[in-house]
Copies of this chain bind each other. A is one copy, B any other.
Amino acid sequence: MQSNMKTPLLSSTPSDPSDSSAPPLSLSGPVVGIIGSGDFSRSLSIRLLSCGFRVVVGSRDPAGVGRGLFPEGVELRSQREAVEAAERLVFAAIYPEHYHTLLGLRDGLTGKVLVDVSNAKSLRGGGRQSNAERLAELFPMSSVVKGFNTVSAWALQVGAHDGSRQVLICSDCSASKASVLQLSRHLGFSPVDLGGLCASRDIEEAPLLLFPSWGGPMLTTFLLFLFFYAYNFMRHVLLPYLDKGENNFYQLPLVTVNETLPSVALVTLALVYLPGVFAAVLQLVRGTKYRRFPLWMDRWLCSRKQLGLLSFLCAVLHAVYSMCLTLRRAAGYTLLNAAYRQMKAGVENSWVEKQVWRSDLYLSSGILGFGVLALLAITSLPSVGNALTWREFTFVQSGLGYVALTLSVTHTLFFGWDFAFYPSSYPYFLPPVFLLSLVLPCVVLVGRILLALPCLTFRLTKIRRGWESRRHRPTHNPEPSVEVDPPQNFGDV
C-alpha cells in the first residue's frame, strides 16, 4: 500500500495492477509538473486538480506569483523543484522563445516526458523546424510530446462540454505519447494520435488554420456559383434589358439565385465522382495500384467529402428556394394576370397535359435525388459513418452516390424537356444554363458505364486486389494474399 507511493503515479491511474489496494485518499493521484505560471498554466492546473492529479507549478519567481491566481492544492515552487517533483509528465507552458532558459533543468528532465503546448507564430509552410522539434533537440534525454495547443485555456479550465474536444498529439516515443493520450482522455478530451514528432509542424499551425480541408472545395463551389450567376444574369436580365428594355432586375435576389444553385449542385456532385473515374482509368492504364497518383489528384480525391457536402448544401438551398417560389408576391401577381388573360380570351380549360407531366416528373426525380443525397450527407456524420462496416459505407457513398447523380441528371433533363431543341431557347446565341451544367455529370456517368464493362471491371478488380501487370511486377510473388474486398477508392463522397 505504501510502496505505491514510489512507483510512477500517472501510469497507475488507468489500470495499474500494482495499486489495487490504493488508499481512498483524494490526493493520491500522480504528480504532474508545469513549467510557467501564465494563463495556460493556470487553466491546466485547475483541470488537472479537478481530475484527481496533484500539480506542481514551477515559476522562475514562485514568491512573485499571485497565490490567488492558482487554486488551492496547486503547489507553487521553483522550476527545478517542479521538474523534480513531477513523476513522469512535465508541461512546458512558456513561450517557445524562452525554451533555452530551461537548459539548466536538463538533468531533472532526463527520462521524463516533456509536453510542448505552444502554437506557431505564423504559417511557415512545412519546411521549418517546429517548436517541439527544437525542444526535442535541446533535451535529447527527455521524450518530447506535442499536444494540447489546439485546446483553448478556457475549454481546459471549464471542461470541453460542447464540441472541440479534440486534442492533436504526436511524438517520436510511442510509450510517452501513450501516456499523454491517456492523460488527455482522462481530462475529458478526445486525443488524436498523429504519429511522429514531425507532425508537430502541422499541429502547431492547426490553430492558425480554419477548416483547412474546406478551402479548395469552397473556392471551387464559389467560383462555379459566380460563373453560373453571371451567366444567368446576362442571359435573363442584362441582355433583355439592353436589347428590349425589359426590367427583370427583381429576379436578382431570389429567382436568379435559384436558377444558379441547381447548376452548382449538379456540377459539384459530378466533381465528386470525376476523380474516381480518372483514378480507375489511371490504374487500368498503368496496370498496378502501387504507383502514386499525381499530387493534384490525391488532393482532389481527398476533397470529395467536402465537395459532396457543398453540393448537398446547394441542393438544400435550391429545394428551399423552390418551395418558397409560390410564396412570392410575384407568383401571385403572375397568376392573377394569367387568370385575367384566360378570362379575356374565354379559354375554359387551360390544361396542357404535356406541361403537367413535365413538371410532375422533374419535381418527382428532384425530390428523390434530394432524398438520396440527404442519406449520403447523414452517413457523412462522424458518429453514423463510424457505425457502418466498410462495405456498407462504400455501398452508401459510392452506390447511392451514383443513384443521386443519375436522379439529378434526370431531374435536369425533365426540367429541360425538349426546350434544348427550340431556337427560342438560344437568345443571343446563349444555350440554356441546364445544358451547360449537364456536360460534366454526363461525362462522369458515361465513364462509369464504360468502366462497368465486364472486361474492364475484371481487370480493375484484379488490380485493386494487388495484382500487377507483368511490366510493373518487380519479381514473382508466390504467396496468395488474403482475399480482401477491392479497396474501391472512387465514389465515396
Contacting residues, chain B, for A257 (C-beta < 8 A): 364
Q: Is A320 an interface residue (CB 8 A)?
A: yes
Q: Mark A83-105, 1 if CB is under 8 A from B, else 0.
A: 00001100001110010000000
Identify which of residues 128-173 in chain A touch chain B, using a CB-to-CB cut-off of 8 Å. Answer: 136, 140-144, 150-155, 157, 162-166, 168, 171-173
Contacting residues, chain B, for A182 (C-beta < 8 A): 14-15
Report how many copies the assembly holds.
3
Distance, CA A206 to CA B144, complexed state (A): 41
Q: Select one of B23, B254, B348, B487 contacting A337, CB under 8 A.
A: B348
Cβ contacts A to B, 12 pairs, < 8 Å: A11-B20, A16-B17, A17-B18, A24-B140, A40-B484, A51-B174, A316-B371, A333-B352, A337-B348, A337-B351, A343-B343, A382-B383
Contacting residues, chain B, for A381 (C-beta < 8 A): 381, 383-384
Contacting residues, chain B, for A447 (C-beta < 8 A): none
Contacting residues, chain B, for A59 (C-beta < 8 A): 479
Interface size class of A (residues with CB under 8 A): 35 or more
Residue of B nearest to A198 (CB): B26
On whether the beta carbons of A355 and B329 are closer than 8 Å, the reply is yes
On whether the beta carbons of B12 and A17 are closer than 8 Å, the reply is yes
On whether the beta carbons of A11 and B16 are closer than 8 Å, the reply is yes
Residue of B nearest to A330 (CB): B356
Contacting residues, chain B, for A221 (C-beta < 8 A): none
Q: Mark A31-47, 1 if CB is under 8 A from B, else 0.
A: 00000111111110000
Q: Is A290 an interface residue (CB 8 A)?
A: yes
Q: Select one of B88, B348, B359, B384 contacting A20, CB under 8 A.
A: B88
On whether the beta carbons of A28 and B481 are closer than 8 Å, the reply is no
Contacting residues, chain B, for A335 (C-beta < 8 A): 332, 335-336, 339
A173-B25, A174-B29, A481-B39 known; A385 vs B164 contact (CB < 8 Å) = yes
Distance, CA A290 to CA B209, complexed state (A): 29
Distance, CA A1 to CA B172, complexed state (A): 17
Contacting residues, chain B, for A387 (C-beta < 8 A): 166, 382
On whether the beta carbons of A395 and B29 are closer than 8 Å, the reply is no
Comparing A63-71, A232-240, A424-432, the segment that makes contact with chain B is: A63-71
Q: Which among A41, A179, A325, A329 has the highest number of chain B CB atoms within 10 Å?
A: A329
Contacting residues, chain B, for A391 (C-beta < 8 A): 150, 207, 209-210
Contacting residues, chain B, for A367 (C-beta < 8 A): 317, 320-321, 324
Residue of B nearest to A110 (CB): B21
Q: Is A178 an interface residue (CB 8 A)?
A: yes
Q: Is A242 an interface residue (CB 8 A)?
A: no
On whether the beta carbons of B175 and A26 are closer than 8 Å, the reply is no
